[in-house]
């Protein structure tokens, strides 16, 4: 008798129909994602497309020379190279520090 009372007190969200509707909605969402991203994912997996860069360095204009930026890059990268030559930084650390130095200079000397 308790099982009948439990079945009556169960709401729609606990029913099998609600679960089937949720499954259909999930399948439709997956199909929509697949339909819109299929060509990009396939090209990326096959190696025909490169992954987008998360952070892109601003490309300096060839006609405009930013002296302050060049001085900053020379000083900061020179300091990092000196730390590597002194054995303070490993090769992996050198790459990270050099990239951070470049990003700092670009951030400080944006127009």
Please state, in angstroms and rounded to a whole number, the distance separating the CA atoms of residues 111 and 55. 18
Contact 89, 80 (CB under 8 A): yes
Supply the pLDDT for residue 8. Answer: 58
Tokens, residue 104: 């700092």
Please state, in angstroms and rounded to a whole number, the distance separating the CA atoms of residues 81 and 86. 9
Supply the pLDDT for residue 41. Answer: 76
Positions of the chain with pLDDT lower than 50, given as ranges: 1
Contact 55, 45 (CB under 8 A): no
Supply the pLDDT for residue 50. Answer: 65
Q: How far is CA 79 from CA 11, 63, 67, 74, 90, in A?
A: 68, 28, 18, 8, 14
């Amino acid at each position: 008798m308790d099982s009948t009372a439990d079945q009556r007190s169960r709401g729609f969200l606990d029913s099998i129909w609600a679960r089937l509707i949720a499954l259909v909605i999930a399948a439709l969402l997956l199909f929509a994602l697949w339909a819109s991203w299929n060509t990009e994912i396939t090209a990326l997996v096959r190696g025909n497309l490169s992954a987008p860069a998360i952070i892109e360095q601003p490309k300096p204009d060839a006609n405009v020379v930013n002296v302050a930026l060049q001085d900053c890059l020379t000083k900061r990268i020179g300091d990092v190279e000196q730390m590597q030559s002194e054995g303070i930084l490993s090769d992996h650390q050198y790459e990270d520090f050099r990239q951070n130095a470049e990003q700092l200079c670009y951030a400080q000397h944006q127009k």
